[in-house]
Amino acid sequence: MTKAVLLLECPDRKGLVAAIMTFLVSEFDANILHAGQHQDAELGRFFMRVEFEYLAREHESLQQEFGARFERIAEEYAMRWQIAPSGRKLRVCLFVSQHLHCLADLLQRYQAGEFECEIPLIVGNHADGQKLAEFYGVPFVLLPVKGNKAEVEAEQMRLLAEHRIDLVVLARYMQIISAEFVEQWKTKIINVHHSFLPAFIGSKPYHAAFRRGVKLIGATSHYVTADLDEGPIIEQDVTRVTQGDTIPDLIRKGRDLERVVLSRAVRWHLEHRILHYENKTVIFD
Amino acid sequence: MTKAVLLLECPDRKGLVAAIMTFLVSEFDANILHAGQHQDAELGRFFMRVEFEYLAREHESLQQEFGARFERIAEEYAMRWQIAPSGRKLRVCLFVSQHLHCLADLLQRYQAGEFECEIPLIVGNHADGQKLAEFYGVPFVLLPVKGNKAEVEAEQMRLLAEHRIDLVVLARYMQIISAEFVEQWKTKIINVHHSFLPAFIGSKPYHAAFRRGVKLIGATSHYVTADLDEGPIIEQDVTRVTQGDTIPDLIRKGRDLERVVLSRAVRWHLEHRILHYENKTVIFD
Amino acid sequence: MTKAVLLLECPDRKGLVAAIMTFLVSEFDANILHAGQHQDAELGRFFMRVEFEYLAREHESLQQEFGARFERIAEEYAMRWQIAPSGRKLRVCLFVSQHLHCLADLLQRYQAGEFECEIPLIVGNHADGQKLAEFYGVPFVLLPVKGNKAEVEAEQMRLLAEHRIDLVVLARYMQIISAEFVEQWKTKIINVHHSFLPAFIGSKPYHAAFRRGVKLIGATSHYVTADLDEGPIIEQDVTRVTQGDTIPDLIRKGRDLERVVLSRAVRWHLEHRILHYENKTVIFD
Amino acid sequence: MTKAVLLLECPDRKGLVAAIMTFLVSEFDANILHAGQHQDAELGRFFMRVEFEYLAREHESLQQEFGARFERIAEEYAMRWQIAPSGRKLRVCLFVSQHLHCLADLLQRYQAGEFECEIPLIVGNHADGQKLAEFYGVPFVLLPVKGNKAEVEAEQMRLLAEHRIDLVVLARYMQIISAEFVEQWKTKIINVHHSFLPAFIGSKPYHAAFRRGVKLIGATSHYVTADLDEGPIIEQDVTRVTQGDTIPDLIRKGRDLERVVLSRAVRWHLEHRILHYENKTVIFD
């Protein structure tokens, strides 16, 4: 038996769930392991995630095989959909600068088996993460950014293509990605911003939070779009601060949040638990 | 169009979801509004909640009409199930003693339209809640408990029958309900216990929490069973305490938790969002 | 023995705590019950709250008596300070519109003895809160606001003066207070804003939060200043939301936050636990 | 200028704070950086932490120098006290078994400068942690426990003495420490237990939590005493779980809690922020 995850989105219509479920059972003799759905009543849209088990004919070509048979129903209901076999792990590239706490956390989780993925590459604009990459057996490429951003991005995209990367994770990568890069990697770049968005967009959010005198600080993981810190939010968390906390304290407390919200976002993406629409996400947790 | 909620539980089997969905669509021409499901892989059990809209034939007898047609599929899959029309509000009786914070909170939410129910009766073993009941227009019956527990419980059960009560909510009712009463009102009595169960079972949990020096205190809402504080947990929440907090501080902070976990449990029950099994609950939130 | 709370703020200097403590002990034969302090290293400022017990000479004139003797040290250290005897309860006026959940919550806490204050007056711009006020035995004055704001505010201020009010609590009072009013009642008006400030300033924050797709919603209590929603934050809290939550769900979940953050702010103010400076607050909890 | 932290505990008495502060200022010409205090009214005990700056005479012997002069006041007030110069970093030994997430987390924080300590030694009863220790440049000693516990503990204690260790951190060390060992290292061993104590004492707490159907799981860091999982609690935290979470999910979610509560406990201990009494802790955060 093979496991697969079907993610789909379409206009909401009567009989939709029955049609999908009946299709999976009758066409694939599928055993449904988990199914989650969401309706946006205002937009009249329907979202679904189905994790199922079935007897695959030829493992490699689920995409084609499934697609050929799913086409009829997908067209009928005007679905945007994707199917992912559990057998195939996504390939992830981490981007990092000098702050290593997210990188170390992701790599430890990777080693512990928390993520269903391959990490064939880490790209740094500083050398700080190199030793950590080596320790976890991941090749590290140093690409310093100094007035040569277009060139560096071209090289980054070449590397992503060469390594057949599915997802880029900005593990506190302190560079703004160009609109062109983002366009090509739409909803395939996850960033962590060190504030509770939409509060404190931009740089030095902990400093801004300190000045405003908030009683909780937060962190946010989101897909990167061309608008800085405006992409679809995947996960957020907060922690309490007091007047006794200095800016370095906020930074330290914030690191605990950043680790957690980024790693959750990565795991959900890898397990095909995220649908995005209208600058929002639906999480099938 | 009428709305209804179907809750069901059965052994997990292939084709189950498709069968249920197809039934609802083909037999009832239903429009699925929300559907949630849960599988317990270990026990091999399947749980589902479906909220749907359909053109009812005769509103009063959904139970019979639906049952007659659902029987075939229910038997085939060995389901335990219930159907509830949205039109019919459950009838709730509140039991209260001297602490009024949960009573006041529930009644204010009731008035604000947060609960889809009728509250035709409040029973108190002290008179403290009477004026509040009157203010919110709910009849209050005073039944003091002083060595006459069997008699009082008989009268309580008579009142519950007379008022066709569906759910009893113990809003900090400081009396232990007898096993006989509980047996007759299985999963129809919701209690709030002022600790993070299973820590600090029994009386004076805030005192026990203070002595143990915990850093968080909690509250738990649960269905009442014959074993004190051992029933299926519906909701829990916690809040931080410090060495500066005295026992009265814990009691005060705890009241905020009690209000919230009890009101969530009541709302979920009223909206048919809870299935219980094996001393646990499944919440379709 | 009489209890009193001393709150002070001054430039940070060596020997400050020793000087204050020695003064309290030697001049007042005081027994220190609690003492909290905070230094803002960046601004070089020192903040302190001391709760102490002493044998008062004449209870009514603590302010004068204490002041006369504290003057020397206060001048030497350039302190901004206030002394409050525990015997004198602050007088609080609640402003309310049509949403009653905060009003009901505050009044229930008031009745339960959670607040050390008198509430001699409730002012509403709608009549909705009148019955609740009556139930809790508090006079209610209806002052509708319809293009006569200056007039209404003049009457409000007259009432506040007449009732010797110390603190105004906006319990979801849906009117903007004029700059003149605010100026006269600086740090004496507490508001609750239904967002996690500084996110979603202004009206309809739950709608804005829904559109942005945040994963947590919040509420904030703060002192009112002339800049809308920009005053010193006193307390904040958040709760998790999902894609399943509609705007009415956010509003309902948010009410639980509003009750809690507003009531904490009120209690802290009444217990003289708040110092404000530079648009921030120091909370001695 | 040298920084030092004074921690003390004594019966509560009038004039105590003034006496201590006056002593620090007059005897040491100290500049108070932070001061926190706590009174336990029930027990009549007073607890204090003072962080101060002063012109040290001879850095090495603060303990002696300070002690000689503090003796008078300490005796007068029957204090239990300790002084720690900021210059001297505590020496920490980590004990580990096969679960590496706490070890990796602590070492990354250590490298990032989050802990004011030296870690000269890691002891493992399995070899799993060895490479991680080497990566962070910390000597690793493998001491397998197989029916030779007394012998292993003797060797462990020899190593702790040899390396002049101040604190032992059990980073998910899956062995019970003998009463003799604990007695010698009283309040110098910090453990993390993977439940919200006192719920689910003993082994497999996530399995027990799953069976009980709790809605939140927790983790607890505490000082180790002879009674298993009964020592003074230092920190606790919880996270929400649902029916969708399997036991492996609980274990994964729990790891995030374990990392955070253990690292906070270690940091607080290293910064001399913890006083313990009567099986409780006072945290000066």
pLDDT higher than threshold 80 for residue B151: yes
Q: Which residues of A are catalytic?
A: 229
State residue D2's pLDDT score.
Answer: 81
Closest CA to C44 of C15, C75, C13: C13
The pLDDT of residue C241 is: 97
Q: Which residue numbers in chain D have pLDDT < 50?
A: none
The arithmetic mean of pLDDT across residues C5-34, rounded, is 91
Higher pLDDT, C217 or A54: C217
Residue linked to tokens 């190593």: D159
Alpha-carbon span C49 to C34, nearest angstrom? 8
Q: Which of C21, C37, C39 sits opposite D18 (nearest CB)?
A: C21
Q: Is the dihedral of CA A157, A160, A166, A172 positive or negative?
A: negative
Q: Are A50 and A24 in contact (CB under 8 A)?
A: yes
Integer CA distances (angstroms), B181 to B151, B259, B265, in order: 12, 25, 20
The answer to whether the CB atoms of A25 and B35 lie below 8 A apart is no
D90-283 and D2-85 share a CATH fold:
no
User: What pLDDT, on the 0 to 100 scale, is given for residue B276?
Assistant: 93
The tokens 């802990």 sit on which residue? D115
Cα–Cα dist C85/C65, whole Å: 12
Q: Which chain C residue's Cα is nearest to B284?
A: C244
Question: For residue range B242-280, what is the model confidence (pLDDT) as tens digits?
Answer: 999 999 999 999 999 999 999 999 999 999 999 999 899
Take residue D50 and report the two structure tokens written for it: 């003072």
**Residues A83 and A6: beta-carbon distance below 8 Å:** yes
Size of interface C-D (CB pairs under 8 A): 48
Cβ C104–B101 below 8 Å, yes or no?
no
Residue of chain B nearest A36, judged by CA positions: B36
**Is C229 designated active site?**
yes
Task: State how far residue C274 is from chain D, nearest Cα, in angstroms.
Answer: 17
Of C41, C214, C218, nearest to A233 by CB-CB distance is: C214
For the cut 80, the answer to whether the pLDDT of residue B70 exceeds it is yes
The letter for the amino acid at B162 is: E
Mean pLDDT value across residues B209-216: 96
Alpha carbon distance C47, C55 (integer Å) = 25
Contact residues on chain B for A284, CB-CB shorter than 8 A: none
Torsion of the alpha carbons at C122, C128, C132 and C138, rounded to the nearest 10: 20
In the structure encoding, which two tokens stand for residue A159, read together?
């590397």
Q: Which chains touch C (3 or more CB pairs under 8 A)?
A: A, B, D
Q: Which fold has domain C90-283?
A: Rossmann fold (3.40.50)
CB contact under 8 A, A37 and B35: yes
Tokens 């990777």 belong to residue: A110
Domain boundaries, chain D: 2-85, 90-283
Count of all residues that appear for chain C in the document: 285
Distance from CA of A271 to the nearest CA of B (A): 18
The pLDDT of residue C181: 97
Query: Hey, which chains touch B, using 3+ CB pairs under 8 Å?
Result: A, C, D
Distance from CA of C50 to the nearest CA of D (A): 11
Q: Choose the closest CB to C18 out of D14, D25, D34.
A: D25
B277 to chain D: nearest residue by CA?
Answer: D213
Alpha helices in chain A, H assignment, sequence order: 16-28, 62-76, 101-111, 130-135, 149-162, 179-184, 205-212, 247-270
Give chain A's residues under pLDDT 50. Answer: none
Strands A90-96 and A167-170: parallel
Q: Which of D225, D221, D232, D229 is nearest to D265 (CA)?
A: D221
Cβ pair A279:C213 closer than 8 A: yes
Assess whether pLDDT exceeds 70 at residue B235: yes
Confidence band for C49, pLDDT divided at 50, 70 and 90: very high
Indicate the residue of A40, A213, A235 with minimum beta-carbon distance to C280: A213
Helix (H) or strand (E) holding C262: helix C247-270
pLDDT at B178 over 80: yes
Task: Give D87's DSSP letter.
Answer: T
| % chain B with pLDDT above 90 | 80
The answer on pLDDT for C274 being more than 90 is yes
Predicted local distance difference test score (pLDDT) of residue C278: 86
- 8 Å CB contact of B100 and C114: no
Among candidate residues B229, B237, B245, B249, the one labeled active-site is B229
Residue B221 phi, psi dihedral angles, 5° rounding? -105, 140
Q: Quick one: tokens of C170?
A: 């906006």
Catalytic residue among C29, C128, C227, C229: C229
pLDDT-based confidence at residue B68 (cuts at 50, 70, 90): confident
Q: In what order do the strands lie in the sheet with A2-11?
A: A31-40, A45-54, A2-11, A80-85
CATH classification of C2-85, choosing from 3.40.50.300, 3.40.630.30, 3.80.10.10, 3.30.70.260? Answer: 3.30.70.260
> In terms of Cα–Cα distance, which of B55, B70, B61, B58 is closest to B6?
B70
Tell me how far apart the alpha carbons of residues B17 and B12 are, in angstroms, rounded to a whole number. Answer: 10
What pLDDT is recorded for position A61? 64
d(CA A7, CA A5): 6
Angle CA B100–B103–B105, to nearest 5 = 105
Residue burial B196-231, b: 16+ Cβ < 10 Å; e: rest = bbbbbeeeebbebbbebbbbbbbbbbbbbbeeebeb
Q: pLDDT of C226-261, one tens digit each?
A: 988 899 999 999 999 999 999 999 999 999 999 999
Q: Which residues of A touch C238 (CB under 8 A)?
A: 216, 238
Q: How close D245 gets to chain A, by Cα (Å)?
A: 9
Residue B99 scores a pLDDT above 70? yes
Confidence of residue C61 (pLDDT cuts 50, 70, 90): low
Inter-chain touch D243–B200, beta carbons under 8 Å? no
* Cα D168 from Cα D223, distance rounded (Å): 10
State mean pLDDT over B116-130.
97
Residue A69 pLDDT:
84
Q: What is the DSSP string of C196-207?
A: STTTT-SS-HHH
A216, A237, A281: residue with CB nearest C213: A281
Chain A: partners with 3+ C-beta pairs within 8 Å: B, C, D
- Chain B residue with CA closest to C35: the answer is B244
- C-alpha span between C220 and C211 (Å, rounded): 20
Chain B residues touching C260 at Cβ < 8 A: 256
Closest residue by Cα to residue C47 from C17, C69, C21: C17
